[in-house]
Chain A
Amino acid sequence: GAGVSQSPSNKVTEKGKDVELRCDPISGHTALYWYRQRLGQGLEFLIYFQGNSAPDKSGLPSDRFSAERTGESVSTLTIQRTQQEDSAVYLCASSLGTSQYNEQFFGPGTRLTVL
């Protein structure tokens, strides 16, 4: 498809387990972003990838969170030893490049529930 895709759409896990969320950006988009949306809240920035540059991890809430991106394609967000406070919708976005004038296009999100 032409848009940003994410998988799985829903994930239920037990506290303490690790989870991996996937994002496929729009083809040709060099910039990729992860955001978290807690219930009833706006989106919180987590991490940003631009091409082969070192990612900006300044929004990651703890060292249990990590993300990788292969070149300018797929990205995975990993949460280790999940906690109930990690329950949220995780949204991925991509944009054409580094300019702040490049619009971000969002995927449908992964709803994570930690029991």
Chain B
Amino acid sequence: ELKVEQNPLFLSMQEGKNYTIYCNYSTTSDRLYWYRQDPGKSLESLFVLLSNGAVKQEGRLMASLDTKARLSTLHITAAVHDLSATYFCAVVSGYALNFGKGTSLLVTP
């Protein structure tokens, strides 16, 4: 059974600071997603990582994938309040997505 673990589960950070969210998974997969979820809203796709060493950046967020270590990271640079949300990583297994429990991020002034 594929297991996906994220840490931390809760993160409070000040505006302007940097931080990294980690996503570990237990079995081989060749595709990993990062999603954002705002309270009461559905999931918004942020990044799709397809291969070892893949790195993608959008604004203050950068995601990377190390398939050998079965690890993905989501790095936040100079956080702003608008980034407050819950972030999920999800790993493809067959056709279904296996999700981590999510990281609730709160960015404070």
Which residues on A are within 8 Å of B, measured CB to CB? 31, 33, 35, 40-45, 48, 50, 56, 59, 91, 98, 100-101, 103-109
Interface residues in chain B, defined as those with a beta carbon under 8 Å from any beta carbon in chain A: 4, 31, 33, 41-43, 45, 48, 50, 88, 90, 92, 94-102
Q: Which residues of A contact B95 (CB under 8 A)?
A: 31, 33, 48, 50, 56, 98, 100
A109 and B42 within 8 A (CB): yes
CB-defined contacts of B96 to chain A, threshold 8 Å: 33, 45, 48, 56, 59
Contact of B88 among A43, A103, A105, A107 (CB under 8 A): A43
For B88, list chain A residues within 8 Å (CB).
42-43
When the two chains form their complex, are residues A41 and B101 in contact, meaning their CB atoms are under 8 A apart?
yes
Pairs of residues from A and B, 10 with the lowest C-beta to C-beta distance, nearest first: A42-B99, A45-B96, A43-B99, A106-B43, A106-B42, A108-B42, A42-B101, A100-B92, A42-B100, A42-B102
Q: A41-B101, A59-B96 known; A103 and B48 CB under 8 Å?
A: yes
Of B48, B98, B101, B102, which is within 8 A of A45 by CB?
A: B98
Tally of contacts, chain A with chain B, CB under 8 A: 51
Q: Give, as a whole number of angstroms, the nearest-CB distance from B95 to chain A.
A: 6
In the bound assembly, the distance between CA atoms of A100 and B97 in angstroms comes to 9
Bound-state Cα–Cα, A56 to B93, Å: 13
Q: How far is the CB of B11 from chain A (nearest CB, A)?
A: 14
Q: 14 A-B Cβ contacts within 8 A?
A: A31-B95, A33-B96, A35-B97, A40-B102, A42-B102, A43-B97, A44-B99, A50-B95, A100-B31, A101-B31, A101-B50, A103-B48, A106-B42, A107-B42
Q: Which residue on A lies nearest to B48, using beta carbons?
A: A103
Given the known interface contacts A101-B31, A103-B48, the answer about A108 and B41 at a Cβ–Cβ threshold of 8 Å is yes
Tell me, in angstroms, the Cα distance from A66 to B28 when the chains sit together. 30
Complex: how many Å from CA A103 to CA B32? 11
Instruction: List residues of chain A with CB within 8 A of the CB of B98.
Output: 45
Q: Measured between alpha carbons, how far is A109 from B99 in the docked complex, in Å?
A: 16
Chain B residue numbers with a CB within 8 Å of A42 are 4, 88, 90, 99-102
Give B104 Cβ to nearest chain A Cβ, in Å.
Answer: 8
